[in-house]
Amino acid sequence: MSVVLTKGYPHSVLDLISPGGAPAIEAADVVKSFGALTALTGVSLSVAPGTLAALLGPNGAGKTTLVRIIATLSRPDSGRVRVLGVDVLAQPARARGLIGLTGQYAGLDEGLTGRDNLVLIGRLAGLRRLAAVDRAAELGAAFGVAHALDRLVRTYSGGMRRRLDVAASLMTRPAVLVLDEPTTGLDPASRRQLWEVIAGLRADGTTMLLTTQYLHEADRFADIVHVLDHGRIIATGTVSELKSRVGRPVVEIRLQHPSAAPAAAAAVRGRLALPPADVRADPASGWLTVAAADDTGTLLAAAAALRADGIAVTGLALREPSLDEAFLALTDGRQGVGERPALAYEAPARGRARRLCRPLGARGGGDRVRP
C-alpha cells in the first residue's frame, strides 16, 4: 500500500526544500476574523517533517479555518505560514505544489465517474493525461474503489466518496498532506482502511496535519497533538504528555443495575467527600467513574461506599486517564463526550453535505490567496 501511494516520490527533495530539519509546516501568530468574530487569535504551531500532527478542538474552535489558511484557500488577517520553507502568502502557487488537502466537506463532481474525477483533478494539478490515468487507477486500487471507478460518483456510498476524496488529494504525491476530519462519517471498517492508508503515508515520510473528532485516533496515530480552543492553541504535546497533564488516574466501576447510577454517584461523593465533578455516572451504560486522587485508596473507598449502600458492581478498575479526559480537562469540559470517559468521543451527527477542496490550485474558496 505505501509503495503504491508514494512510488517515485522524491523524498530526498524534502531535505533540499526543508534543510536542517526545519518544520514542514510552520504557522506563526495567525489571526483571522470573520466580521466581529475572531476565529483565530494568534495561532502558532509547527509540524516536523515526516510526522503526523493532530489538531483537536471543540466544534467552532477554528480548526478548519487554520487548515484552510495553511492550504492557501484562505488568507489570514495577519501572521505567517510556511510549508517546507515556502511562505504560503508570498508564494501560494509554489506552496500549492507541495500540499495536498482533503477538506472537511467533500465536493467531488457527482456527475462524473470516480475515475474522471481523479483524472480531472490530476490534470488541473498539472499531470499529463497518461500519468493522471495511471495514477487514478493506482489510487483507486489502493483505496478499495477500483471496482467502482467507472460509476458516477452520485451512486457512491458516503464512505466510498470519502475514500475517493482522500485519493484525489494524493494525485500529485504531495510532500505535505492536510486532512480535515478525514474519517468523520465513515463506518468502522472504512475508517480502519483509511487509517491504514494514512499509516502507510506516514511510514513513507509524508508530513501530515489532521483534524479529527475521534480522539482515540489521535491517541493511536499522532506523533504530536495540538489542542485548539476559542481560536488559540491551549496545549501541545505528545498524547502521553497531555494525559499526564490531567494527572490523576481514574477508577471505573461497572454497576450491575445501570439505573442505580445516580444513587451510586451520591454514595461515592458522600463517603469520599468528593466534589460533584470528580464523580461521573452514566445511567444509560451503568458506568461510574471517579477521579482517583488516592489511587487504590480511592478504589477501595468507592467499593466500600457502594457495598455499604447495597449497590452491586460487576467490574472495578484503576486506569490511566484517557485522551478524552485530558481534552475535557483542557477545554473545561465543554466537549460532549458523555459521562463515561473510556468511550471515544463521537462527533455529533451533523448530516452535512461535503464539499471538495483539493488539489490546491484546482479549486478554492472565497478569500483564497491569489498566486
Ligand X SMILES: Nc1ncnc2c1ncn2[C@@H]1O[C@H](COP(=O)(O)OP(=O)(O)OP(=O)(O)O)[C@@H](O)[C@H]1O
Contact positions vs Mg ion (CB under 5 A): 63-64, 104
Between 260 and 330, whose beta carbon lies closer to ligand X? 330
**8 Å CB contact between 153 and 161:** yes
Q: Which stretch binds ligand X (CB under 6 A): 57-65, 115-123, 141-149, 314-322?
A: 57-65
Residues in the chain: 371
Q: Which does 59 bind (CB under 5 to 8 A by kind): ligand X, Mg ion, none?
A: ligand X
Among 12, 20, 37, 370, binds ligand X (CB under 6 A): 37
- Radius of gyration over alpha carbons of the chain, in Å? 23
DSSP string, 143-204: TT-GGGTTSBGGGS-HHHHHHHHHHHHTTT--SEEEEESTTTT--HHHHHHHHHHHHHHHHT
Per CB under 6 A, 206 contacts ligand X:
no
Per CB under 6 A, 246 contacts ligand X:
no
User: How many residues line the site for ligand X (CB under 6 A)?
Assistant: 12
**8 Å CB contact between 178 and 100:** yes
| Footprint on residues 17-36 left by ligand X (CB under 6 A) | 34
Between 203 and 347, whose beta carbon lies closer to Mg ion? 347
Per CB under 6 A, 63 contacts ligand X:
yes
Q: Which does 82 bind (CB under 5 to 8 A by kind): Mg ion, ligand X, none?
A: none
Per CB under 6 A, 183 contacts ligand X:
no
Q: Which does 277 bind (CB under 5 to 8 A by kind): Mg ion, ligand X, none?
A: none
Between 20 and 366, whose beta carbon lies closer to ligand X? 366
DSSP string, 259-279: GGHHHHHHHHHHHHT--GGGE
Per CB under 6 A, 233 contacts ligand X:
no
Per CB under 6 A, 353 contacts ligand X:
no
For cell 470573520, name the residue: 34
Per CB under 6 A, 212 contacts ligand X:
no
CA angle 83, 103, 185 (to 5 degrees): 140
| Helices marked H in 214-277 | 215-221, 239-246, 261-272
In angstroms, give the least distance from the CB of 358 to Mg ion: 15
Query: What gap in Å lies between CA 229 and CA 347, rounded to an integer?
Result: 16
Longest Cα–Cα distance in the chain: 76
Which residues of this chain interact with ligand X, rule CB under 6 A? 34, 37, 39, 57, 59-65, 104
